[in-house]
Amino acid sequence: MQVKTFRLSIIALAIAGVVGGVNANIDTPAIQPVPPTPINAMSGAPTPVVAALPDFSSIVSKYGPAVVNITVSGHTKVAMTDMPQLDPRDPMFEFFRRFQAPGQPGGEMPTRGMGSGFIISPEGVIITNAHVIDGATEVTVKLTDKREFNAKVVGVDKPTDTAVLKIDAKNLPTVNLGDPSKTGVGEWVLAIGAPFGFENSVTAGIVSGKSRTLPDEGFVPFIQTDVAVNPGNSGGPLFNMKGEVIGINSQIYSHTGGYQGLSFAIPIDVALKVGNQLLHEGKVSRGRIGVSVQPINQALAESFGMAQSAGALVDFVPEGGPAAKAGVRPGDIILKFDGHPIIEPSELARYVSDLKPGSEAKLTLWREGGEKDIIVRVGVIEDVAQATEVTPELAKSRLGLAVRPLLPQEGRQSDVNGGLVVERSTGAAARAGIQTGDVVLAVNGHPVTEPGQLRDFVAKADKRLALLVQRGNNRLFVPVELG
């Protein structure tokens, strides 16, 4: 059976919409051993020493009030499978599309979702997961004192599954933020959230692993735990024994969709880097060097004359990119990036994305049997969708698309070279049938690889555009009547 990764917000469909700053440190909870009894004089065998389990109550009472429940509402489209097969140019097509009953194929159904979050500023700044509020038109935050607030979405970053919310309140309780790098495998941790809607539930376990890479999550070195987390825990905090938040509970690995012993949290330092950019700049800027890489196994290492299988093998270097300008070639093996050893290719993506675009970094390469250093100027990943939800501005735009460049690993999986991944479709694009997850390959026959190219075509267009779209294994031209 295939094991899948599940995000942990609760999403339910209902026709009527029925069915989610730093404080002072807290003392570390004491773990007191039970004194051993004297050695049995008859047998000579000592009585085993039994250690008591840790008491988490002080952490929960101090920081539990800073954990919030998040409820979202919105609408989702239902595929028009039962709609009469009419040409989109037929006048009756629009009639059937608009007036099909809600809840029936081709209509829209209300959605409600639940998740968790935590307050990091007394002025109402809240961190949660991006997938908790994905597609929401209204976000409500509920505190432990039963107060409820309508929340503003400050920004969303899907590559790290991080979102920042703001509520209109002051003097709120906040969590204490920690350093994930100081937490070791085997240490106790606890989670607070709303699994299946049970508000402010507390579960505990240990750190099972660090720097885990999950499919399609190349920017996040996840913390793996065995803490019981379930749908509704998404966006909630992961605490260490000092009462510090070291992560955001985000995903589970499961056969069933429920908890089976593997849960994953986004390190809080990764989330804070993203959150601060969203708060102060409204978007997230990530570095890029313009290479496609693959792992090194023992056979490849031996064929390149390497003593060990480590590094990132360059298999493609786009022309005109930062790496190409610096002289990187296919067949090079990146051993270090700016002094950081590269064991797995996923580490390269993290280090590059952390650098400020325009800065310089040193690449240590393995080439022709020896090491070689190259200086590369870091470029920027253009992504107009990473901090954009369905805002009025997007809905009113002529095209109504939020897109990002196709990542190299995504291109290899779908056998596509370049293009723009649709992160959000509204307005004219949605009416034409463009869907989230589609890849826009060309506009009016011209290939597009950057969001700016798409904007230029829209700005110059009169009334319509023809988009070449890849959907799964199929390609089709979609005519779009611009707004």
> Residues within the annotated binding site?
131, 161, 232-234
Q: What is the DSSP letter of 66?
A: G
Residue from 134, 157, 161, 226 carrying the catalytic annotation: 161
Residues 6+ apart with CB under 8 A from 369: 304, 305
What is the helix, strand, coil percentage profile of the chain, to 5?
Answer: 20, 35, 45
Q: Is 47 helix (H, G, I), strand (E, B) or coil?
A: coil
DSSP one-letter string for 401-437 = EEEEEPPHHHHHHHT--S-EEEEEE-HHHHHHT--TT
DSSP, res 33 = B
Token look-up 């955001």 returns: 248
- First-to-final CA distance of the chain: 46
The secondary element (H helix, E strand) that includes residue 12 is: strand 10-13
The Cα 57–Cα 20 span in angstroms is 23
462 is catalytic: no
Catalytic residue among 9, 131, 157, 346: 131
Distance from C-alpha of 348 to C-alpha of 64, rounded to nearest angstrom: 37
**DSSP string covering 131-166:** GGSTTEEEEEEE-TTS-EEEPEEEEEEGGGTEEEEE
Cβ atoms of 94 and 106 closer than 8 Å: no
The residue count of the chain comes to: 483
State the Cα–Cα distance between residues 179 and 244, nearest whole angstrom.
8
Cβ-Cβ contacts under 8 Å for 430 (sequence gap 6 or more): 77, 400
Query: Is 234 a residue of the active site?
Result: yes
Residues 6+ apart with CB under 8 A from 239: 59, 63, 189, 190, 191, 192, 245, 246
With b for 16 or more beta-carbon neighbours within 10 A and e for fewer, the 43-58 pattern comes to eeeeeeeeeeebebee
Count of helices and strands (H, E) across the chain: 10, 30
| Closest alpha carbon to 118 in 11, 249, 218 | 249
Question: Which entry of 201, 234, 250, 263 is annotated as an active-site residue?
Answer: 234
Which residue ranges make up the annotated binding site for substrate? 131, 161, 232-234
Exposed, middle or buried: residue 263 (CB in 10 Å: 0-12, 13-18, 19+)? buried
Dihedral (CA of 384, 386, 391, 395) sign = positive
131 is catalytic: yes
| Element containing residue 25 per DSSP (H, E) | none
Q: Give the active site residues.
A: 131, 161, 234
